[in-house]
Amino acid sequence: MYDLIIIGSGPAGLTAALYAGRFKLKTLVIGEVPGGLMANTDVIENYPGFLRISGVELTMKIQEQVQALGIEIKMEKATKVEKLEQHFKVTTLNESFETKTLIFATGGEHRQLGILGEEEFKNKGVSFCANCDAPLFRDKPVAVVGGSDTAARYALLASEYASKVYVFYRRDKLRAEPALVRSIKQQENIEVIYNVNVTELKGSDKLEEAVLDNNDNYKIAAIFIAIGQIPQSKLAKDIGVKINEYEAIVIDSLSKTNVKGVYAAGDATNTPWKQIIIGNAEGAFAAFSAYEDLKCFKDKE
């Protein structure tokens, strides 16, 4: 029986594990990918203590801290969560574990455009990770869809390799951080096309063209889609955790859900800002809350 199981190994889950270890809680982290989406971030410049650091390096540093505290980490997929009489049961593809408390740090998955050609050209020019794939399109024209921080970073990274980077955005102004917007404006090979939507992707055996709803067509070799995330909340929903209209887990200021002994942190929650540092904070809150609730439970025994 664990004191705490954390589902998710991104920044929120790893930070929760760090604090749980310091609280001497018997803890298990179950996650599919170390660092989650953070590990796909090429350059991070807004994390305290580092002028610049890659997502992979930051993941390794946090994970090293967690493992130094003796926290058990299993790289597996949690497939089922059950609420038993006094505790919870988490099942993976290979085994099951029981715990007194539970933190969902399950993050989100990339939102798709849902247009013709998107599925057909996945891994043939359609990508959700510029950090992974931008170097493959050196000296070729590419595009980015979106206007967020992620989209801006994708555009800036792609501009280091591509001959031209088009940014297709459905609004009339980018909503990325001002510093990122300034950098985009200073980059000569980035062009932002406002008030448009991509309606179709075309090509033969690989992506060759993007069609917009203003009837313009752009010749591109790749398109990086950065239009947000879909919270991974199904496992939480299965045990009665409250989910909002956007499928995000509803938490209070202490990262508690409506189910006693269940907490959540990071991109899967209803917090409006999806940032690594905010996931860290919510992970810490969740671990503190679990510790306090476990302590209260023991005091009553």
Same domain, 117 and 206: yes
Single-letter residue type at 225:
I
In this structure, the chain runs to a length of 301
The whole-number pLDDT of residue 301 equals 54
Same domain, 205 and 259: no
The whole-number pLDDT of residue 279 equals 96
What are the CA-CA distances from residue 88 to residues 97, 171, 220, 235, 260 (Å)? 8, 44, 49, 12, 11
Residue 134 belongs to domain with CATH number: 3.50.50.60
- Give backbone dihedrals phi and psi of 72, rounded to 5 degrees, phi first: -85, 130
Same domain, 71 and 87: yes
The distance in angstroms from the start CA to the end CA of the chain is 17
The whole-number pLDDT of residue 86 equals 87
The whole-number pLDDT of residue 265 equals 98
The whole-number pLDDT of residue 300 equals 55
The whole-number pLDDT of residue 298 equals 66
Assess contact for 192 and 152: CB atoms under 8 A.
no
Number of domains in the chain: 2
Same domain, 30 and 68: yes
Q: What is the extent of the structural domain holding 164?
A: 112-225
The whole-number pLDDT of residue 272 equals 84
Domain boundary among 225, 242, 277: 225
Domain boundary among 190, 225, 260: 225
Same domain, 177 and 195: yes
pLDDT along the chain (301 residues), means of 10: 97 98 97 89 87 93 96 96 95 96 95 95 92 92 96 96 98 95 97 98 96 96 95 97 96 97 97 91 98 80 54
